Amino acid sequence: MQATMAAAQRVFEFLDAKEEVPEVQAQQFPKKPEGNVDFNHVQFGYSDDRLLIHDLDLHVGSGDKIAIVGPTGAGKTTLVNLILRFYDVKGGSITIDGVDVRDMNRESLRSMIGMVLQDTWLFSGTIRDNIRYGKLDASDEEVVQAA
């Protein structure tokens, strides 16, 4: 029930969201990024009158593996959405290899970053079909390896 309520809230936020600001001469994402991600005094809220993130500083170095944990609605997915510029920060900055993500071309930025959603979905069909869903032409050997 809690997940349903959080999902409904996100749907309403999406419906109320303003259209993305057009990009003006945005940079392409580096072809071979190092992968250093920095949140510098980040502030964010879905509405202008209520900030949900206050002065967040976080450094994730190239090759670092981190876990962001918390209850439903705590903002884990929001952090990833900010990196991918589905939303822009209200204050501070997010940089990748020293370049502010707001100065990067969204399409280029998003093509270089993978996101694994927290919800698991199984589709009707076999387990093999579900594994193969992300790569329809995967060989049987690749499917077994992925399992």
pLDDT digit string, tens, across residues 46-63: 988 899 999 999 999 998
pLDDT of 42 higher than 70 = yes
Report if pTM > 0.75. no
Q: What are phi and psi of 91, to 5 degrees?
A: -160, 160
**What is the spatial distance between Cα 133 and Cα 12, in angstroms, rounded to a whole number?**
29
Contact 127, 147 (CB under 8 A): yes
Long-range contacts of 50-55 (CB under 8 A, 24+ apart): 51/90, 52/78, 53/78, 55/92
pLDDT tens sequence across 86-136: 999 999 999 999 999 998 888 888 888 877 766 677 778 888 888 887 788
Structure tokens at 39: 């949140």
Q: How far apart are the first and last CA of the chain?
A: 30
Domains and CATH numbers, the chain: 2-116 (3.40.50.300), 119-147 (no CATH)
Angle in degrees, CA 96, 99, 100, rounded to 5 = 90
